[in-house]
Amino acid sequence: MPNQTNDLLSPRADYYQVFADVDGDDLEWWKTARDYAAWVRPHINEAWEKAEYNVPAVEEAARRGLIRDGIDIEGERPMSIRANRLITLELARCDASTTTAVIVQAGLAMQSINLLGSEEQKKKYLGPMSRMEIRGAFALTEPDHGSDSIALETTATRDGDEWVINGEKKWIGHGSVGHIAVVWARMDDGEVGGFIVDQDQEGYDAETITGKGSLRGIPQAHIKLNNVRVSDDRRLPGARSFRDTAVVLGGTRLGVAWTALGIAIDCYEKALTYATERVQFGRPLIKNQIIQQRLSDMLMDVTAMALYCKRLLELEEAGELSEKQAALAKVHNTRAARRVAANARDMFGGVGILLENDVMRHMADLESLHTYEGTDTIQSLIVGKTITGVSAYR
């Protein structure tokens, strides 16, 4: 068995020592995320079961500096790309809803402003958003346009020094419980623009979507925009086409791959612990060949997922990561995580459906990861286009 080099991942989970070289500030950030996860974990299942958004818990993550997505904030301690990905991994081992809240706030809303906003917009919003004083949403998906979001129908019409926005958005995290929403709309020239819209202004109507069986710990909204007026200084000047929007989405798509890895690690470790302690027919489950084979299968998936993430991290740090590479990682890791969770749930037997064991919650939450930031099918077709040279979807 490989030697353990730090206590954040056991050698049973990091079998190839993929993350054994993490040190310095990156390791300290990872430990900060681990401490936060230990603090918030006792509150997760209750909030998930009641479909409640634990705002104070997310605000605590902000107080610990975790809501940054690697963005430089004046007066705050630096956070590298590597540290940001490890934070995502660690939060996901605890709870996908909390991880999604952080990705929505920092990876989508804050990064839209950071990558495409003016200097004035960055100064006004990024600091307060990193402290969760301003909660933000990323409003792109529409009721009739999910995977084909490039066909969005929401419009922004110029009227003097203002823009008038009309349309609908759906499945928008923080869309009904936030302060601002970065709304994506087609402008008069046919190009796509991003606009910072206050959620309490006239014409912005958001309803929290109920009845979810996945990611119950973060609310998503159906938003209706009826002649919502925003001044031109609320338009993101760097957003001129859907390609600009895709720059933001590329980062969060990779975040989904890291989230899936974190969930898979937690399911694998919990299944291993349970099988070690559970006695059936007079002996521990782990003495059964089928259990050892299943654990080996789970470890193979976890290890492959980690290697995907590590290689893409290297490309991301070098500024060489492509949309297609992120798409392949998202497909691979969400599929693999679903297999790991299903094996873990089965290994727990009847008690596997209880929230107290976490696996059932993870299993349900993975269904959202399988779909959002581009469905499994669409990501596969993005990859398919690159290897065949033929587009199967447009």
Question: What are the tens digits of pLDDT across the range 14-65?
Answer: 999 999 999 999 999 999 999 999 999 999 999 999 999 999 999 999 999 9
Topology classification of domain 135-239: Butyryl-CoA Dehydrogenase, subunit A; domain 2 (2.40.110)
Tokens of 64: 């610990």
Domain 22-129 part of CATH 1.10.540.10:
yes
Per-residue model confidence as pLDDT tens for the chain (394 residues): 444 456 788 888 999 999 999 999 999 999 999 999 999 999 999 999 999 999 999 999 999 999 999 999 988 999 999 999 999 999 999 999 999 999 999 999 999 999 999 999 999 999 999 999 999 999 999 988 766 556 789 999 999 999 999 999 999 999 999 999 999 999 999 889 999 999 999 999 999 999 999 999 999 999 999 999 999 999 999 998 888 888 888 888 899 999 999 999 999 999 999 999 988 888 999 999 999 999 999 999 999 999 999 999 999 999 999 888 988 999 999 999 999 999 999 999 999 999 999 999 999 999 999 988 778 888 888 888 888 888 887 6
For the entire predicted model, the pTM comes to 0.94
Comparing CA positions, the residue from 376, 381, 345 lying closest to residue 361 is 345
Distance from CA of residue 39 to its chain's centroid? 20
Which residues have C-beta within 8 Å of that of residue 111, sequence separation ≥ 6? Answer: 69, 71, 248, 251, 252
How many other CB atoms are there within 10 angstroms of residue 176's CB atom?
A: 20
Which residues have C-beta within 8 Å of that of residue 148, sequence separation ≥ 6? Answer: 393, 394
Topology classification of domain 241-386: Butyryl-CoA Dehydrogenase, subunit A; domain 3 (1.20.140)
What's the rounded Cα separation, in Å, for the pair 256 and 211? Answer: 23
Tokens of 69: 């997505």
Q: What are phi and psi of 163, to 5 degrees?
A: -120, 140
135-239 and 241-386 share one fold: no
Determine which helix (DSSP H) or strand (DSSP E) holds 317, and give its type and residue range: helix 289-317
At how many degrees (to 10) do helices 359-371 and 24-50 cross? 100
Q: What are phi and psi of 201, to 5 degrees?
A: -85, 160
| Domain ranges for the chain | 22-129, 135-239, 241-386
What's the rounded Cα separation, in Å, for the pair 272 and 260? Answer: 18
